[in-house]
Amino acid sequence: MSALSFWKKNIRDVPEEVWALAGLDELVLADNRLAQLPASIGRLKELRTLDVGHNELVSVPEELGGLTGLTGFLYLHDNRLSELPASLGRLTRLRYLNLSQNEFDVWPEAVSGMTGLVELRLDDNQLTALSPSIARLSKLRELHLRNNRLGTLPDEIGQLHELRLLDLRANPLARLPDSLLALPRLEKLDLRWIRALAPPPWLAELEAKGCIVYR
């Protein structure tokens, strides 16, 4: 087990010798000036956690999807990403993904393939809709969607039976799907700073089941 950190080193490129460290299981490249990651990252087959948050990435390489040993955390937040390669859908054992503070306006379908996700963060993007394929994330416990452009949610969100927390703050939601009432383990539903939403009649029933609704 080995870890390597280049946190806040003001680098634009990762030293080439890093990609030869085949036994590396944690790599921190956060808070730098990286505009791209090379295909060489695909050599790090033992990697379980990767942090490239707070950089200047506009894309990530296809080869990242070959790192199927990623079982812990993948931080891609605070970059300039607007899409993900389909290959990332192969990361089926990843538990935590942070895509907050990027430029996604369309749901990145690769995420729906990450069926091991327990926590997903997509705060501070420009999403106008979620894909019905979100139902594939059957292990998801936390879904963070604060400050997007969502007007509604797909009925399929009601199939996320492990969901405990749903953060919808500061979205222009006009309605909520009735399927939210079917979420058996929902503990917190955050609806603050949503001006146009008329509270659905079943909201009181959801609260009676033990869910805390912030509004």
Amino acid 60: pLDDT: 98
Per-residue confidence band for 131, with pLDDT thresholds at 50, 70 and 90: very high
SS3 96: strand
> What is the mean pLDDT of the segment spanning 22-49?
97
Are the C-beta atoms of residues 156 and 177 closer than 8 Å to each other? no
Q: Model confidence over 42-52: pLDDT tens digits?
A: 999 999 999 99
Long-range contacts of residues 177-181, Cβ cutoff 8 Å, at least 24 apart = 177/152, 177/153, 178/202, 179/155, 180/153, 180/206, 181/205, 181/206
Mean of per-residue pLDDT scores for the chain: 97
What is the token pair recorded at 194? 């949503």
What is the Cα–Cα distance from 199 to 181, expressed in whole angstroms?
Answer: 13
In the chain, % of residues over pLDDT 90: 98
DSSP 31-85: SS------GGGGG-TT--EEE--SS--S---GGGGG-TT--SEEE--SS------
Per-residue confidence band for 1, with pLDDT thresholds at 50, 70 and 90: low
> Per the CATH hierarchy, to which homologous superfamily does domain 3-214 belong?
Ribonuclease Inhibitor (3.80.10.10)
Amino acid 134: pLDDT: 98
Are the C-beta atoms of residues 107 and 127 closer than 8 Å to each other? yes
Q: Model confidence over 47-100: pLDDT tens digits?
A: 999 999 999 999 999 999 999 999 999 999 999 999 999 999 999 999 999 999
What is the Cα–Cα distance from 169 to 178, expressed in whole angstroms?
Answer: 18
φ/ψ of residue 86, rounded to 5: -60, -25
Nearest residue to 85 via CA among 123, 41, 126, 118: 41
Q: Model confidence over 159-173: pLDDT tens digits?
A: 999 999 999 999 999
Amino acid 61: pLDDT: 98
Whole-prediction pTM: 0.97
Q: Helix count (H) and strand count (E) of the chain?
A: 1, 10
What is the Cα–Cα distance from 195 to 48, expressed in whole angstroms?
Answer: 41
